[in-house]
Amino acid sequence: MAEENDPKRLGKAERDIVALGIATAAIILFVATGGAVLPDVWRSLWGQGDGPNLFLVNAMLLNIALVIFGWRRYNELTAEVSDRRIAEATAQKLAETDPLTECLNRRSLTQVTQDLCALSQNTGRPVAMIGIDVDNFKQINDMHGHATGDMALIEITKRLRKLLPDHASLARPGGDEFAVVMAYDQREENALEELTMRLCQGVNQRMNLNAVSIDTSISAGFATNCEIPGLYDAWIDAEALIHRADIAMYHSKKKGKNRFSVFEPSMGAELRIRNELEYGVRRGIEQQEFVPYYEQQVDIDSDELVGFEMLARWLSPEMGIVSPEIFIPIAEEIGVISSLSEQLMAQAFQDARSWDPSITLSVNISPVQMRDPWFSQKLLKLLVEHQFPPHRLEIEITESCVHDNLGMVRSMIASLRNQGVKVSLDDFGTGYASLSQLRTLEFDRLKIDRSFVSELSNVESDSKIIDAIVSLGNGLDMPITAEGIEDERVLDILRELGHFKGQGFHYGRPETSAEVSKRLEKLGKLCTDDNSAKLGRRKTVHDLKFDGEEKRAKG
């Protein structure tokens, strides 16, 4: 096979000596025989002579046939060779490039990087690599379909190409990843970092594809193969260079996406920890290591317990109890937030069924889930499966959701409210929800962010902010919850400012399901006819641990 594709053989075939030799010999013979036969033919036509020698006539005719055969064979061969050359060039292009964007593929990126790195040791010109990953590309595919996703990749390629110098190679090693590799002059290093920044800015412009507007951005990582700038014997190889650009790119992702980072050795350790966390979250979902904790919500005027906010905790076998501030962003990024949230909600509905029917349950929902067009259907299914009444459920969404896609958020809120579920705006005051957004989005409640509430007793201006939020809530007919109440003084100030539902460490830290049951039992608010034992709720690892601790304490 290799021999068949040997370009030398193709070249030989192109100049096929035998076919050409036959045609040439036939032409010479034709001239010779024709020279003898044709004068005799001419003379015999005028009635002179005996006519042409029959043997020579046959030889001449044979020559004519040979000339035609040789010429046709030669032409066919030349055409065949040119077809094969085109086919081989196409095959080579397919093997080296990505068919969608016509960028280099992973294999040829490695090859080009290896070649450049090998060369740089001789020339002293270092090699730079920029690792690029499109932010939230999965959402583009999920929301608008794969055809639009493909168009977005083509548009991103165009934008990158427009900004890159001619000697740079652009590759798409896979999915939504791109990479740029090029040799450069040491003195240009700053210019290259600026180029990386311009690539990020260039892609971060709205695209109009298939009649939809898509806002996209990229995270990039920059690395060079010269370990110590200016020291020409401190080169790293191609594999290490690709790895470093990847590490720097992941660093940008972790820092909030839509940015670029220059590789630093400490990033490697961070990435390892991050990978372990990602693996841990995936395994934790499988092993049901995530459990709901509950924070009390109290009517601050009557001091009556009116509900609980479910706050997720990860009972990691390696790290102990892990805060949602750590694992929720990871679950969002690796695309498992929906399954994690559904698992937690299922446990919470089961737990809350044994509470007094007057007690509500609030659940936090990630912006990623708000972008899922099936979210309200999925929620309804869960509610039905666990026979939990929708009117007892309150969904908390943060202000950042509101900016993502106002139209979609509006219809999601409407659909949830149609099911009887209440929707509140969490952490109000920390985002940028405008008054018009607040008016068009029909929230049932505003939750003032704890940063304003917990400092209430110290900072004069914060009471004015809360005062303003209270007026706003009254104007929009939205009740208000104050979170982060840590002491009696704050509570007193709040009581003066208006009527609130309150929550915070003053009322107690978030508790396990078992602790909540005990609390409600004391208050006479635990339903005995519908308790978790009768419902057959599977005891979680945490319940068992809690039961054990309790027995030890008693015993």
User: Rounded to the nearest whole angstrom, what is the least distance from the CB of residue 313 to ligand C2E in the complex?
Assistant: 7
Choosing among ligand C2E, Mg ion, none, which partner's interface includes residue 504 (Cβ < 5 to 8 Å by kind)?
ligand C2E
User: Rounded to the nearest whole angstrom, what is the least distance from the CB of residue 293 to ligand C2E in the complex?
Assistant: 7
- Tokens representing 329 are 């962003």
CA angle, corner 527, sides to 522 and 529, nearest 5?
A: 135
What is the size of the binding site for ligand C2E (CB under 6 A)?
Answer: 24
Nearer residue to ligand C2E within complex by CB, 160 or 310: 310
The residues pairing with 480 across neighbouring beta strands, listed in sequence order, are 446, 500
Cβ burial 77-110 (10 Å sphere, 16+ → b, else e): beeebeeeeeeeeeeeeeeebbeebebbbeebbb
**Is residue 448 within 8 Å of 454, Cβ to Cβ?**
no
Interface region with ligand C2E, contact rule CB under 6 A, candidates 90-98, 139-147, 322-330, 435-443 = 322-330
User: Rounded to the nearest whole angstrom, what is the least distance from the CB of residue 286 to Mg ion in the complex?
Assistant: 26
**312 binding ligand C2E? (CB under 6 A):** yes
Q: Which of 371, 135, 407 is nearest to 249 (CA)?
A: 135
**450 binding ligand C2E? (CB under 6 A):** yes
Q: Which of 354, 387, 374 is nearest to 531 (CA)?
A: 354
Quick one: which of 196, 219, 454, 517 contacts ligand C2E (CB under 6 A)?
454
Choosing among Mg ion, ligand C2E, none, which partner's interface includes residue 295 (Cβ < 5 to 8 Å by kind)?
ligand C2E
Cβ burial 117-150 (10 Å sphere, 16+ → b, else e): beebeeeebbbbbbbbbbbbbebbbebbeeebbe
Choosing among Mg ion, ligand C2E, none, which partner's interface includes residue 484 (Cβ < 5 to 8 Å by kind)?
ligand C2E
The residues pairing with 312 across neighbouring beta strands, listed in sequence order, are 292
User: Rounded to the nearest whole angstrom, what is the least distance from the CB of residue 285 to ligand C2E in the complex?
Assistant: 12
3-state SS, 72-98, equals: HHHHHHHHHHHHHHHHHHHHHHHHHEC
Interface region with ligand C2E, contact rule CB under 6 A, candidates 13-21, 255-263, 435-443, 478-486 = 478-486
Interacting residue ranges for Mg ion, rule: CB under 5 A = 364, 396, 426-427, 483
Quick one: which of 267, 344, 397, 494 contacts ligand C2E (CB under 6 A)?
344
From CA 136, how far away is CA 332, in angstroms rounded?
Answer: 10
- Residue 83 to residues 13, 17, 76, 90: CA-CA distances in angstroms? 13, 20, 10, 11
Pairs from 39-42 (Cβ < 8 Å, separation ≥ 24)? none
Nearer residue to Mg ion within complex by CB, 437 or 481: 481
Binding mask 499-518 for ligand C2E (x = CB under 6 A): -----xx----x--------
From CA 67, how far away is CA 465, in angstroms rounded?
Answer: 101
Nearer residue to ligand C2E within complex by CB, 165 or 335: 335
Q: Which of residues 115-144 bind ligand C2E (CB under 6 A)?
A: none
**366 binding ligand C2E? (CB under 6 A):** yes
**486 binding ligand C2E? (CB under 6 A):** yes
Dihedral angle sign, alpha carbons of residues 28, 32, 37, 42: positive
**418 binding ligand C2E? (CB under 6 A):** no
Residue ranges that bind ligand C2E, judged by CB under 6 A:
295, 311-312, 323-325, 328, 341, 344, 364-366, 396, 426-427, 450, 454, 483-486, 504-505, 510
